[in-house]
């Protein structure tokens, strides 16, 4: 049987395989709420403009509410023969309200309809991601505040470099996530234009009011060019790009969690809640959540590259290729939401081993730079020379297999006679981090101030979000 929605000129139905490759209902049913919102806005506008009669519009809006209820209750039968969410909703509407349903599709096409639905969905999802990012930042700031004075080794090349504080390390991620939120906000601001009313590609001869539907749906304005309206998926790409950068950040942190929880490092412990055991090796406690956060990056980057590839060869305007925008986007943003929640869970769960961290922070002559800085500051030695002198002192300690501060004053004076006992003030790891008071440095006081600044800002963000009316 030919398609009941568009089958006028078709005598036969599609081949089974045609139906299978063509149908999107299996995944675009996730757009149901957005599709119904868009249709309600459209019907309201059609009546306000006198394009359809108010009774029909009323019946359509009521009926769409009913369809929404059925879908929410799981009582809706999605039909592959109706291809996609748009026709499934419209066909059910016709069953419920009869003839007036046929007026809904006046002055629109599935092309502007799907562009609108998907923008709404991506916008809703960006808002959810922003809230999840705020929660992760909150968890990091709280942990950082608790550990503003917990020293740990700071690394470059994954070699012990200089002592830092655990709180400072966590706050680095708060900054990254702050930029991520900025990127999502930028994407949201640019996507917030309404394509509805562009119709198939050329606009429409009906006297529609695109400002009205745009406003109804919480968009800032209608899109300006009908061809661009139905063929643009930049909003998906920008969102996936922001998601990719965020996933990369989460993956770096996850990698650190994996390293930190190995018995060889044992910098932090995760509880039973965020680890798994091995079915064969009873001693094991594996950081699977961190590993999976690291791995989810693959599908998120994949979605972005996939989407760029789908779009790159498409002549204007709409082509069915664009139906391939949804599955990878749903999948990537679902994975991202999961990764964000799991990371926040691990942050709240993790317990740093302060003793071990402190010991590790002092190993590998991590305060050698402090010694060199002391020579520069106190003896007015040029830094290059101080670097050389320090190197010789480190050599001495290393030859004896002891830490820098375990050398005697006399031994250090053997290398540089002007060194005084004050040198010991900068050689301990705590003194080292306390001295890093430059703006953005690791000094515990800096870390506390930074964490408190962020916590205040996060509280303000949350209040603003609660005050914002839902679109």
Q: Catalytic site residues?
A: 157, 278
Three-state secondary structure string covering the chain: CCCCCCHHHCCCCCCHHHHHHHCCHHHHHHHHHHHHHHHHHHHHHHHHCCCCCHHHHHHHHHHHHHHHHHHHCCCCCCCHHHCCHHHHHHHHHHHHHCHHHHHCCCCCCHHHHHHHHHHHHHHHHHHHHHHHHHHHHHHHHHHHHHCCCCEEEEEECCEEEEEEEHHHHHHHHHHHHHHHHHHHHHHHHHHCEECCCCCCCCCCCCCCCHHHHHHHCCCCEECCCHHHHHHCCHHHHHHHHHHHHHHHHHHHHHHHHHHHHCCCCCCEECCHHHCECCCCCCCCCECHHHHHHHHHHHHHHHHHHHHHHHHCCCCCCCCHHHHHHHHHHHHHHHHHHHHHHHHHHHHHHCEECHHHHHHHHHCCCCCHHHHHHHHHHHHCCCHHHHHHHHHHHHHHHHHHCCCHHHCCHHHHHHHCCCCCHHHHHHHCHHHHHHHCCCCCCCCHHHHHHHHHHHHHHHHHHHHHHHHCCCC
Query: Between 141 and 230, whose beta carbon lies closer to ligand ARG?
Result: 230
Stretch that binds ligand ARG, among 208-216, 314-322, 334-342, 460-468 (CB under 6 A): 314-322
> Residue 134 Cβ, how far from ligand ARG at the closest point, in Å?
31
> Residue 91 Cβ, how far from ligand ARG at the closest point, in Å?
14
- Name which position in 34, 239, 275, 323 contacts ligand ARG (CB under 6 A): 323
Considering the rule CB under 6 A, would residue 114 count as an interface residue with ligand ARG? Answer: yes
> Residue 323 Cβ, how far from ligand ARG at the closest point, in Å?
4
Rg (CA), the chain: 30
Stretch that binds ligand ARG, among 106-114, 279-287, 339-347, 389-397 (CB under 6 A): 106-114
> Residue 25 Cβ, how far from ligand ARG at the closest point, in Å?
8
Cα dihedral sign, 166-172-175-176: negative
Query: Between 227 and 430, whose beta carbon lies closer to ligand ARG?
Result: 227
- Name which position in 34, 39, 56, 111 contacts ligand ARG (CB under 6 A): 111
Phi, psi of 455, deg, nearest 5: -60, -40
Stretch that binds ligand ARG, among 54-62, 108-116, 124-132, 427-435 (CB under 6 A): 108-116
Find how far residue 24's CA is from the centre of its chain.
26
> Residue 121 Cβ, how far from ligand ARG at the closest point, in Å?
12
Considering the rule CB under 6 A, would residue 116 count as an interface residue with ligand ARG? Answer: no
- Name which position in 110, 168, 181, 294 contacts ligand ARG (CB under 6 A): 110
Considering the rule CB under 6 A, would residue 84 count as an interface residue with ligand ARG? Answer: yes
> Residue 13 Cβ, how far from ligand ARG at the closest point, in Å?
16
Q: Tell me the C-alpha distance between 453 and 144, whole Å.
A: 12
Stretch that binds ligand ARG, among 43-51, 57-65, 107-115, 296-304 (CB under 6 A): 107-115
Query: Between 67 and 412, whose beta carbon lies closer to ligand ARG?
Result: 67
Stretch that binds ligand ARG, among 236-244, 286-294, 318-326, 350-358 (CB under 6 A): 318-326
Size of the site for ligand ARG (CB under 6 A): 10
Q: Tell me the C-alpha distance between 83 and 112, whole Å.
A: 17
Query: Between 117 and 403, whose beta carbon lies closer to ligand ARG?
Result: 117
List the structure tokens of 209: 């009011």
Stretch that binds ligand ARG, among 54-62, 126-134, 304-312, 316-324 (CB under 6 A): 316-324
Cα dihedral sign, 442-444-446-448: positive
Query: Between 257 and 322, whose beta carbon lies closer to ligand ARG?
Result: 322
Query: Between 227 and 248, whose beta carbon lies closer to ligand ARG?
Result: 227
Query: Between 25 and 415, whose beta carbon lies closer to ligand ARG?
Result: 25
> Residue 191 Cβ, how far from ligand ARG at the closest point, in Å?
17
> Residue 31 Cβ, how far from ligand ARG at the closest point, in Å?
9
- Give yes or no for a contact between 365 and 395, defined as CB atoms under 8 angstroms apart: no
Query: Between 201 and 396, whose beta carbon lies closer to ligand ARG?
Result: 201
Query: Between 326 and 358, whose beta carbon lies closer to ligand ARG?
Result: 326
- Name which position in 174, 246, 322, 333 contacts ligand ARG (CB under 6 A): 322
> Residue 84 Cβ, how far from ligand ARG at the closest point, in Å?
4
The site string for ligand ARG over 10-49 (x = CB under 6 A, - otherwise) reads --------------x---x---------------------
Residues of this chain that bind ligand ARG (CB under 6 A):
24, 28, 84, 110-111, 114, 318, 320, 322-323
């Amino acid at each position: 049987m030919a398609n009941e929605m568009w089958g006028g000129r078709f005598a036969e139905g599609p081949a089974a395989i045609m139906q299978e490759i063509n149908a999107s209902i299996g995944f675009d049913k996730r757009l149901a709420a957005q599709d119904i919102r868009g249709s309600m806005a459209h019907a309201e506008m059609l009546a306000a403009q006198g394009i359809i009669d108010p009774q029909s519009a009323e019946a359509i809006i009521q009926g769409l509410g009913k369809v929404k209820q059925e879908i929410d209750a799981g009582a809706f039968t999605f039909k592959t023969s109706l291809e996609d969410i748009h026709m499934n909703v419209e066909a059910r509407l016709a069953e419920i309200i009869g003839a007036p349903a046929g007026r809904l599709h006046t002055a629109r096409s599935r092309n502007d309809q799907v562009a609108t639905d998907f923008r709404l969905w991506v916008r809703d999802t960006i808002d959810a991601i922003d809230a999840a990012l705020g929660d992760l930042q909150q968890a990091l700031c709280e942990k950082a505040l608790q550990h503003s004075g917990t020293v740990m080794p700071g690394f470059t090349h994954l070699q012990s470099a200089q002592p830092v504080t655990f709180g400072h390390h966590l706050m680095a991620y708060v900054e990254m996530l702050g930029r991520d939120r900025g990127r999502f906000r930028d994407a949201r601001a640019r996507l917030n234009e309404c394509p509805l009313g562009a119709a198939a590609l050329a606009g429409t001869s009906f006297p529609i009011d695109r400002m009205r539907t745009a406003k109804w749906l919480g968009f800032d304005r209608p899109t300006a060019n009908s061809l661009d309206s139905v063929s643009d998926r930049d909003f998906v790409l920008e969102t996936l790009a922001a998601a990719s950068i965020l996933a990369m950040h989460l993956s770096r942190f996850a990698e650190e969690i994996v390293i930190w929880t190995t018995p060889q490092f044992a910098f932090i412990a995760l509880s039973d809640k965020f680890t798994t055991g091995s079915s064969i090796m009873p001693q094991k406690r594996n950081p699977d959540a961190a590993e999976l956060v690291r791995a989810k990056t693959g599908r998120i980057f994949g979605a972005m590259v996939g989407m760029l590839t789908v779009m790159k060869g498409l002549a204007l305007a709409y082509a069915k290729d664009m139906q391939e925008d949804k599955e990878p986007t749903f999948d990537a943003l679902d994975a991202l939401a999961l990764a964000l929640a799991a990371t926040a869970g691990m942050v709240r769960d993790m317990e740093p081993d302060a003793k071990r961290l402190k010991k590790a922070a002092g190993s590998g002559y991590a305060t050698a730079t402090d010694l060199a800085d002391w020579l520069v500051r106190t003896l007015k030695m040029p830094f290059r020379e101080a670097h050389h002198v320090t190197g010789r002192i480190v050599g001495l300690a290393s030859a004896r297999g002891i830490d820098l501060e375990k050398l005697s004053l006399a031994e250090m004076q053997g290398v540089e006679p002007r060194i005084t006992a004050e040198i010991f003030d900068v050689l301990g790891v705590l003194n080292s981090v306390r001295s890093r008071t430059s703006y953005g440095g690791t000094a515990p006081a800096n870390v506390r101030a930074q964490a408190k600044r962020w916590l205040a800002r996060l509280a303000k963000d949350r209040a603003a979000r609660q005050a914002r009316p839902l679109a």
